[in-house]
């Protein structure tokens, strides 16, 4: 679920309140349209970039680490509040707001988002919410309108469908990776038991600390235990956005392999 914010209680995410919030949002069909624009001319510009509980997916963290030239550990220390999905044990980091008055996002300036090219998926999706469910035919989507009292973006603007909004926001690679994370969690949820501490720690390292995962690949000679092409191996260790994306894809495969003993994209060699 890509929603920009949800309720917190006692320092933990309140999932029941989150579900209630989603169910009470107006749904919009894939062919329906909505009118919205956000730019410096809108009176509430930057208002939505404060006082957030903004979830970060592995792909979000990957992009922000590269943008800020930070290791996963340094990014986590500087910008992340750590939580856990209670039903799966997987990490669920949220972006830590600044301690300045109004609690703005650490990446927002008066001129707008300072990491715009690599902004998180929840920011790109807003003012829509995207609900997903894994089924036999793949991932089924539902879309919701998130209309906050302070927002003037709906007063005037461009008319679009959800698909047109997502295309304009560059969400395709985000949704593709986020859906993979959701699928992996759904597989664990179906077992009825969350990850144990060892697997939860491995998920955190593999999915949110790609620099450490690459070191582990080399130290544990992981490539010698799985059957993948030389081309894919070379891309996984490449220092580039494409390399990071390939490394995260492999991390999903690796977690599926060590949790379930098999992965669709991997074979034991």
List residues bridging with 185 in a β-sheet: none
The pLDDT assigned to 86 comes to: 93
Asked if pLDDT for residue 10 goes beyond 60, the answer is: no
Alpha helices in 40-156, H assignment, sequence order: 58-68, 72-79, 121-125
In a 13 Å sphere around the CA of 129, the CA atoms on its Cβ side amount to 22
Sheet strands side by side (includes 54-55):
54-55, 94-95, 80-81
Q: Which of 166, 172, 187 is nearest to 252 (CA)?
A: 187
Confidence of residue 138 (pLDDT cuts 50, 70, 90): low
Q: Which of 5-19, 81-95, 163-177, 188-202 has the lowest mean pLDDT?
A: 5-19
| Spatial distance between the Cα atoms of 156 and 71, rounded to a whole number of angstroms | 41
Residues 232 and 247: their CA atoms lie apart, in Å, by: 9
Residues 113 and 49: beta-carbon distance below 8 Å = yes
pLDDT tens per residue across span 240-264: 999 999 999 999 999 999 999 987 7
Handedness of CA 66, 58, 48, 52 (dihedral sign): negative
Q: Six-digit token pair at 244?
A: 């990071």
Nearest-angstrom CA–CA distance, 107 and 52: 12
Mean pLDDT across the stretch 136-142?
74
Phi-psi region of 261 (alpha: psi -120 to 50; beta: other; left: phi over 0): left
Q: Which pLDDT score, from 0 to 100, does residue 267 have? A: 58
pTM for the model stands at 0.90
Confidence at residue 93, expressed as pLDDT on a 0 to 100 scale: 96
Phi, psi of 3 (to 5 degrees): -120, 145
CA distance 90 to 199: 9
Closest to 18 measured CA to CA, from 90, 82, 92, 118 = 92
Q: How many helices (H) and strands (E) does the chain have?
A: 10, 12
């Amino acid at each position: 679920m890509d929603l920009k914010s949800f309720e917190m209680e006692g320092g933990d995410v309140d999932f029941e309140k989150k579900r209630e919030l989603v169910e009470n949002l107006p749904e919009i069909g894939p062919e329906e349209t909505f009118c919205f624009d956000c730019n410096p001319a809108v009176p509430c510009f930057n208002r939505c970039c404060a006082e957030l509980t903004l979830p970060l997916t592995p792909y979000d963290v990957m992009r922000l680490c590269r943008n800020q030239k930070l290791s996963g550990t340094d990014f986590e220390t500087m910008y992340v509040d750590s939580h856990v999905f209670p039903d799966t044990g997987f990490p669920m980091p949220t972006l830590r707001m600044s301690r300045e008055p109004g609690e703005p996002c650490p990446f927002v300036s008066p001129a707008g988002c300072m990491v715009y090219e690599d902004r998180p998926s929840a920011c790109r999706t807003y003012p829509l919410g995207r609900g997903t469910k894994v089924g036999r035919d793949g991932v089924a989507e539902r879309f919701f309108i998130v209309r906050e009292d302070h927002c003037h973006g709906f007063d005037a603007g461009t008319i679009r469908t959800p698909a047109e909004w997502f295309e304009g926001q560059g969400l395709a690679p985000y949704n593709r990776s986020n859906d993979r994370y959701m699928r992996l969690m759904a597989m664990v949820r179906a077992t009825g038991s969350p990850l144990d501490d060892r697997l939860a720690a491995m998920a955190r390292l593999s999915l949110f600390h790609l620099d450490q995962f690459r070191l582990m690949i080399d130290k544990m000679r992981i490539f010698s235990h799985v059957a993948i092409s030389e081309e894919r191996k070379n891309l996984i260790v490449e220092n580039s956005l494409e390399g990071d994306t390939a490394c995260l894809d492999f991390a999903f495969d690796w977690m599926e392999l060590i949790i379930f003993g098999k992965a669709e994209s991997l074979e034991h060699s």
